[in-house]
Structure formats: C-alpha cells, structure tokens
Chains A and B, each alone.
Chain A
Amino acid sequence: AQSVTQPDIHITVSEGASLELRCNYSYGATPYLFWYVQSPGQGLQLLLKYFSGDTLVQGIKGFEAEFKRSQSSFNLRKPSVHWSDAAEYFCAACLYSNTGKLIFGQGTTLQVKP
C-alpha cells in the first residue's frame, strides 16, 4: 500500500542549530513529494515540492529538501533554525495516476530551544 512515513514524532533543536526532518515513502513509482508546515491553530502551508528534475529543492523560509530515489526519501533541511520555525511539519506524496490525491505522513513536531 502507498504510504508516507515520518520516523520522528518530535524533535527538539537549539536555535541556530541545523535541522533535518526525515520522510520516507512507499510507492510503486516515484511520487510527487511535498513538505507542509502547520503552526498552532493554523492550516497547512506549503514549504516546497518536488515533481522532477533537480533533486535538491529550495523552498520558502530558508528550507530545502533532497530527493533520494535509492533511499525512497525526501528529507527536509534548514541550516540554522529560528524560534519561529517551531511548528508541525508534514511530508506528503501523490501519484500522477490518481490525480494528485495526497497521502500525508504522521507529522513531526519541532520544538526550538532558546
């Protein structure tokens, strides 16, 4: 079955430290991949997306993600975390064959220590 897995439920990093959030997918073919961020009480905002081409994708707020086909992964990174980055992060995937129906991972909650 198609699935998206975020192995880390909760991550705490110090402000200014680097960040990597993990995402793995299980699909028969390479899906389209997305990272969304959800601040408390808010809807989801798209950080970045990967459809094809360059495997290193740049997004908003200084985030980037790297697609690795061999590892079925799409990890999100940021070189220096700010306190405002504290939120929940969701990885999502869809196959072109089902008109973009998104499947979400369980989410990773990021806490930033001062």
Chain B
Amino acid sequence: DAGVIQSPRHEVTEMGQEVTLRCKPISGHDYLFWYRQTMMRGLELLIYFNNNVPIDDSGMPEDRFSAKMPNASFSTLKIQPSEPRDSAVYFCASRGTSFDTQYFGPGTRLTVL
C-alpha cells in the first residue's frame, strides 16, 4: 500500500489567496483526520471524518477553514482567504477500526506570505 498521500508537499502563497490541500487515505480506512502542526501550538486536530461524514470539526480555527470528503478515497482542506498565521505543516491521517493505528501522510508545508 502507498500509505496516506498528500499533495502538494509544499505550498507558498500570498495572503488572501485560496489554498486547497489534498489527501488520499489508505484504501479501506474509514476514518480520516486533518491535523495542523506549528511550533507554538504543536499538533492540533482540526477535523475528522468517519465514512466520509464530518464527525468533529471543533478544532477548525475559523470559518476560513473548510474540509470535505466527497468519497472514501479523497479529502480536501481549504483555506479561503489565507493569512500568514495559517503557515504550518498540515497532516492528514487515516485509520481503520476505531482503536487502530492512525497512519500519517508526509504533510503539506504551507507558507502564506
């Protein structure tokens, strides 16, 4: 299995632009998680899905952030408009049964100028 796939690996954009991060979970996994990692706040869970349905989005920082999972093999995290404080590494992770291991993707390093 190729593992969790994220794209792009690096994204540099200007303040105010829309940013879309993409994630392909491991086939057969029915949980998908989006995390953000910063020096100041560490690893934060933004949102997670079960069977393509958002279960908990309490970690989404503000309305500028949105996430979708249109099917079992694809999810997006969108920031519109982006701000410099959104600069971080964004990780996607997927998991099989409820208490199984979460497998992380390589992350997308976002820089907002």
A contact set with B: CB distance below 8 Å:
32, 34, 36, 41-46, 49, 51, 90, 94, 96, 99-107
For B100, the closest partner residue in chain A by CB is A100
Q: Is the CB of A101 within 8 A of B4?
A: no
Within the assembled complex, what's the spacing in Å between the Cα atoms of A42 and B99? 23
Residue count of chain B within 8 Å CB distance of chain A: 23
Q: Is the CB of A102 within 8 A of B106?
A: no
B91 proximal to A (CB < 8 A) = yes
A99 in complex: contacting residue of B45, B55, B105, CB < 8 Å: B55
B25 proximal to A (CB < 8 A) = no
B contact set with A: CB distance below 8 Å:
4, 31, 33, 42-43, 45, 48, 50, 55-56, 91, 93, 95, 98-107
Neighbouring B residues of A46 by C-beta, 8 Å: 101-103
Give B50 Cβ to nearest chain A Cβ, in Å. 7
A42 in complex: contacting residue of B55, B93, B106, CB < 8 Å: B106
Besides the known contacts A43-B104, A100-B95, A104-B42, 17 further A-B residue pairs in the complex with CB atoms under 8 A apart? A34-B101, A43-B105, A44-B91, A44-B93, A46-B102, A46-B103, A90-B43, A94-B99, A99-B55, A99-B98, A100-B99, A100-B102, A101-B45, A101-B56, A103-B45, A104-B43, A107-B43
Q: Is the CB of A102 within 8 A of B99?
A: no
Neighbouring B residues of A49 by C-beta, 8 Å: 101
Q: List 6 A-B contacts (CB under 8 A).
A: A34-B101, A99-B55, A100-B99, A102-B33, A102-B102, A107-B43
Q: Is the CB of B101 within 8 A of A106?
A: no
Give B18 Cβ to nearest chain A Cβ, in Å. 25
Neighbouring B residues of A34 by C-beta, 8 Å: 101
Give B103 Cβ to nearest chain A Cβ, in Å. 8
Within the assembled complex, what's the spacing in Å between the Cα atoms of A104 and B55? 19
